[in-house]
Amino acid sequence: MPSTLTARALLLDMDGTLVNSDAVVERVWRAWAAEHGLDGDAVIEVVHGRQGYATMALLLPDRPVEQNYADNLRLLEQEVTDTEGVVPIAGAPAFLASLRKLPHALVTSATETLARVRMGAAALPLPEVMVTAEWVSASKPDPEGFLKGAAELGFEPADCVVFEDSEAGIAAGRAAGMRVVGVGSRAAAHAPTAQVQSLEQVRVEAAADGSLVLHIA
């Protein structure tokens, strides 16, 4: 059903929300799973939304954290150089264009370098405010990234709406005290505040009082 949300600022995840990078994620993480004798499907189930080291800690809980960080760096190098199949989520170009003069930030588990590479590969403009992996001490589902995004924009958490696709990201947005618009099929199972299949179903307009009105089809 169509719905309307009102906010002061929007906080946007990248992978799966603005950029479809599933092809790269599948290639890199299935190869990693094979190295460690893990089921590729099980790995893909938990990788979305998290920083790599956090995914590894879930899957290999007895492994030293130093090895997770080392593997994370290696996989990041692969992801930065692999942009084949990276495309915008349907509606993302127009959606970001509509936010150009409105308060919004990118909040991603990717590093700044990877965020710039993937947004560039998808031909999407980078928001002026970006909270990347380097900004936080804890990966989603911890709310730290979203709370920092709100603070950078100068708004209270309750005044922000998050756009997310993953279980970890939706949990992080809720833990931050924010409403969440779930984007795509992955999000549907995790009870976001509102749900869309693509960003083509979202229209944002600025009200006279400076608030943002989200029309969700």
CA 129 to chain centre: 14
Q: How far apart are CA 54 and CA 65, in angstroms?
A: 9
pLDDT score of 2 more than 90: no
On whether both 141 and 40 belong to a single domain, the answer is no
pLDDT score of 1 more than 80: no
Q: What is the DSSP string of 187-198?
A: GGGG--SEEESS
Residue-wise pLDDT tens digits, 86-125: 999 999 999 999 999 999 999 999 999 999 999 999 999 9
Residue 22 a catalytic site member: no
On whether both 27 and 16 belong to a single domain, the answer is no
The greatest distance separating any two alpha carbons of the chain, rounded to the nearest whole angstrom, comes to 57
Q: Give the end of a domain, one of 35, 51, 81.
A: 81
Q: Who contacts 35 (Cβ-Cβ below 8 Å, separation ≥6)?
A: none
Residue-wise pLDDT tens digits, 28-56: 999 999 999 999 999 999 999 899 999 99
On whether both 76 and 120 belong to a single domain, the answer is no
On whether both 43 and 96 belong to a single domain, the answer is no
Q: How far apart are CA 200 and CA 26, in angstroms?
A: 25
Residue 41 a catalytic site member: no
CA 41 to chain centre: 20
On whether both 64 and 114 belong to a single domain, the answer is no
Q: What is the CATH number of the domain that holds 206?
A: 3.40.50.1000
Q: Which pair of structure tokens corresponds to residue 119?
A: 């947004």
Domain span including residue 73: 22-81
